[in-house]
Amino acid sequence: MNEQTSSERRRLTGVAIFATAVGACAVGAFAIGALAIGALAIRRLTVQSIRLERAEIKSLRVQDLTVTQLRAAEVMVTDTLKLPESGVDHKAS
């Protein structure tokens, strides 16, 4: 009887250790996934709020653009440029 109880205990101990190992792997996988999703979200927020101090662009084609304020030393337009008709004085030199 003592041998049977000891055998059952060993079996239960083995099952408990296996279940603990599987649970630890599941928790670790969940944590890694959460970190990866968090990193993607932070990267996306960073890209959306980027600010350029100085940029040199050789060629740029934009189909639709809305700008609230633009400061430029030199702008060359090859096609038409339409400015909004408002009370603001637009000067081009």
DSSP conformation letters of 18-82: HHHHHHHHHHHHHHHHHHHHHHHHHHHHHHHT---SS---S----SS---S----S----SS---
Q: What is the pLDDT of residue 89?
A: 61
Q: What's the CA gap between 79 and 62, in Å, rounded?
A: 12
pLDDT in tens, 7-34: 777 888 888 888 999 999 899 898 888 8
Q: What is the pLDDT of residue 88?
A: 59
pTM recorded for the entire structure:
0.38
Q: What's the CA gap between 73 and 22, in Å, rounded?
A: 63
> Does residue 92 carry a pLDDT above 60?
no
Q: Report which of 53, 49, 71, 75 is spatially closest to residue 62, judged by C-alpha positions.
A: 75
pLDDT in tens, 33-51: 888 888 777 776 665 556 6
Instruction: Give the pLDDT band of residue 83 (cuts 50, 70, 90).
Output: confident
Q: What's the CA gap between 35 and 38, in Å, rounded?
A: 5
pLDDT in tens, 52-72: 677 777 777 778 777 778 777
> Roughly how many angstroms between the first and final C-alpha of the chain, as a whole number?
103
